[in-house]
Structure 1
């Protein structure tokens, strides 16, 4: 289905071969990279036929980040953020429904929980696949191919009549949802220049991280008062609305002549070009993880994200054991501060990382050093997140129910901000250094994070039951500080680490 949809949805761009300077310019009327120097010293667009006399100083790619107005860029960020949030609801809203699903299918929670592991694997493969094809066909056709699969999968999950059907449709659903985060980050890298990328990435990350905070209580509420199938129908309708919004308003954002299909047919007249069906290896992008800087940053992100799951996933158990809180509605309210922290933290962190980068470039006389963005992550990775874990363990062990509940609310807010302060600059950094493969690098790091988190999250409750809350959350704080140390090493020695293994990093000219 993937390979059939993509060529059909792909819209070819004109790429003519003419006399004179053959480098295509951006057309100010239709935004296509299809303006060439025509005979007679005129600029001519091969798509909309825009034509003006030759203008000195207009260089190829000069307007690559000015193809869209600021309002249009903001709307594109809104669209891809919406598309990026839905996958987190696909995964997050399912877990609280496991007991009810087990009763419906007359099985155990452990058997149903296998659907979670299968969906994590399918989402990782989907993320790699969609990112790989977005580099060939472009962002828009990949979105329009992935969302129908997500919609069909959601319908299948909602109508499942056996545990086997549930497994199969969860795989389909998760595979389609894999497009959200990786390709969305690629879109932001396409339309925002280096000095503005952190802010936009912060907004995108904030929207996506609302999922882990909001999806579990939402899924639990719907399952408790209605049915777990209703939640799947809600996801289906959200995906349908998102699909039509993307179809109507999302333009192709890939930078001119960067797609694989452009390079394959760059010497072919548009009339002669045929729809191309290609098969790409989605696992190839995992080779990007051999880069020491990318691997180190990915491990830092994994550690920080694990703290989000460690704080939120066992809340019903930790609050019940520590304070005797068992009401689902009250427990759900504890997820709100984490979500608010995510909303506030990411945009602030993005702005800070942009300012640090701009000041560092100015201080060096215009020289760009990618690691200049990373100090913006130090406060989150080294202070907010580890101390939030430490306070969580101390409060749930020693505080009274009344005082402890208030402190935990503050700690969850602090953790939410800290996670975004660490994630946003590091995510923007990976896009900066691999700008020409932004979606692919996001998919590769997401795959590694998802695999590690799937293993780590499964051990949270056993660790709490065996070692207790204080020991478990103190160990988490120590793990956070180790990740903080790895971030410091990357900041100080990033240039040398990039020199160890060159995977084709971006340069100032390509960023």
Structure 2
């Protein structure tokens, strides 16, 4: 029987000789491994909270940079002397690279470590924002928006990977709920802040604002963000190599690591060059595993519906209520408020569901140690409460469309926006935690695969929503999106019933390959 444990001995024996698209062999599938006695992570509670604060701050920039730029579209078009189609290309290129870039940065952070990749992505982002503030041509605008997206979007995948480094499934929900609260509000805050800056100081100061804000975040990361990657520091007790070492080490790193030797690999195993070479295609190939493909499809569908509502607000509220850009921007606050509250509450619910299912299954849960995930019904635990959030979101999306078609008082659609934001964020949080659980040895890579799917589908929904409203009308457009989301119920029921079986089958294949590789190496060594 496979025993789940993340202790260092199990991790070192794992090689990166996986088949294309398959994760490293999860430690919960290594047979006959002794159960670790010490906690999963030696980081203190205060250190964990500090790291989560930095993750929350860093993950804010990707979605915020996408929407803070919206109020600048018209003045940018006028100053550069370009067409509407050309200026809209700067939105499209941002979304495309927002989907693609994390496949490299996520995988890179899983191999080299979180800290150096975080710093690299922030440096790229700050440089791109400074360039955008002074550029004067369409070509420069498009190239710098690509770089800006590449730098900011990588932080989201790395944040999820970092969180998985020091949290167990039993406690992960609460931490992730807090970490997502601030970033999930950023799409709503972006148009408001961007509009205010553009109105007061001109559109170029939007990018100077991002330079200043991101530089402060970069300084904090440089001084006080410790390395957490378990392939580099184990449970936190191994002092990392110089490249991964934090400046204020004694404040934010576990005391156990101060006297430990350098090297970044537990039990003396040095990482080879092969260990550190990233494979960005792993994020793509992960999608083709049955247990993962279903939850990624559900995530993408709800994300597309969410952005369909978001993207339609400027047109609908300006036509129906005669709102100007600032008033339209303020309407997004309903989404943001709902998302923040929902993210925090959902995190608590996720942890409660885990404990509830553990009790019913007769499995003792220790929040500080990793339990036996091979026998644990993760699928039932993670999907226990998602049905309510999905049903509420579908009802609110359909009601939102028909409410706007009747042009009611603005309070009605704003209340529905709040409900859509809260319920949709709840669905996203639950699936994000579940995705990390399915790929514990490469969480950033797995998160990048989710980011790739949802951003690509979200880009499609934002590009067709205006056409749909013109052809179908507001009511039937959002009824369509509600019905598409309804299709997710049977998909998740399949995951709940058979996902555990698929997960174990995938793990068993990897275990057999590990054993064959080990025997082969022993035979070659004996020869």
Q: Residues of 1 paired with 2:349 and 2:268: CA distance?
A: 45
Gaps of at least 5 residues in structure 2 are: 1-6, 13-33, 235-239, 242-261, 364-374, 512-527
Q: What residue is the counterpart of 1:450 in the other structure? A: 455
CA distance in 2, matches of 1:440, 1:412: 32
Q: Tell me whether 1:489 sits opposite 2:494 in the alignment.
A: yes
Residues 103-118 of structure 1 mapped to structure 2, 5 A cutoff: 103-118=78-93
The alpha-carbon deviation at position 123 of structure 1 amounts to 2.6
Q: What's 1:352 paired with?
A: 349
Q: Give the match's secondary structure for 1:435.
A: coil
Structure 1 residues 133, 391: closer, same or farther in 2, change over 3 A?
same
In structure 2, relative to structure 1, the CA distance for the partners of 1:111 and 1:277 (3 Å cut) is farther
Find the partner of 2:51 among 76, 86, 92.
76
TM-score scaled by length of structure 2: 0.78
Query: 2:325 aligns to what?
Result: 328
Does 2:401 correspond to 1:393?
A: yes
Q: How far did 1:209 drift?
A: 1.1
Q: 1:329 to 1:386 in 2, by over 3 A?
A: same
Deviation at 1:129, TM superposition (A): 1.2
Q: Select 1:146's aligned residue among 101, 121, 132.
A: 121
Q: 1:147 to 1:494 in 2, by over 3 A?
A: same
Displacement after TM superposition at 1:155 (Å): 0.7
C-alpha distance in structure 2 between counterparts of 1:316 and 1:393, whole Å: 15
CA displacement, residues 187-210 of structure 1 (integer Å, 9 cap, x when unaligned):
111111110001111112222211
From 224, 230, 236, the equivalent of 2:211 is 236
Q: Deviation per CA, 1:21-69: give whole Å up to 9, x if none.
A: xx969xxxxxxx9xxxxxxxxxxxxxxxxxxxxxxxxx99644534222
TM normalised by structure 1 equals 0.81
Equivalent residue number for residue 290 of structure 1: 288
| 2:466 paired with 1:461 | yes
CA drift of 1:280 comes to: 2.6
Flag the 1:163–1:269 CA change in 2: closer, same or farther, 3 A.
same
In structure 1, C-alpha distance between the alignment counterparts of 2:457 and 2:349, rounded to whole Å:
29
- Judged with a 3 Å threshold, the aligned counterparts in structure 2 of structure 1 residues 327 and 269 are, in CA distance, closer, same or farther, namely closer
Q: Which of 100, 103, 124 lines up with 2:75 in the alignment?
A: 100
Structure 1 residues 64 and 230: alpha-carbon distance in aligned structure 2, compared to 1, 3 A threshold: farther
SS in 1 for 2:442: helix
Tell me which residue corresponds to 1:423. 428
RMSD: 2.8
- Quote the residue 2:389 is aligned against: 380
Shift of 1:351: 1.1
Match of 1:437 in 2: 442
Write the distance in 1 (CA, Å) between the matches of 2:430 and 2:333: 24
Is the CA contact 1:288–1:503 (under 8 Å) kept in the aligned structure 2?
no
Shift of 1:224: 3.4
In 1, the alpha carbon distance for the partners of 2:500 and 2:263 equals 31
Residue by residue over 1:290-335, the C-alpha shift from the partner in whole angstroms, topping out at 9 and shown as x without a partner, is: 112211111111122222212222212112333x332223222211
Provide the aligned length of Structure 1 versus Structure 2. 445
Partner SS state of residue 178, structure 1: helix
Report what 2:244 is aligned to: none
**Structure 1: gaps spanning 5 or more residues:** 1-22, 26-32, 34-58, 507-511
Deviation of 1:399 (Å): 4.4
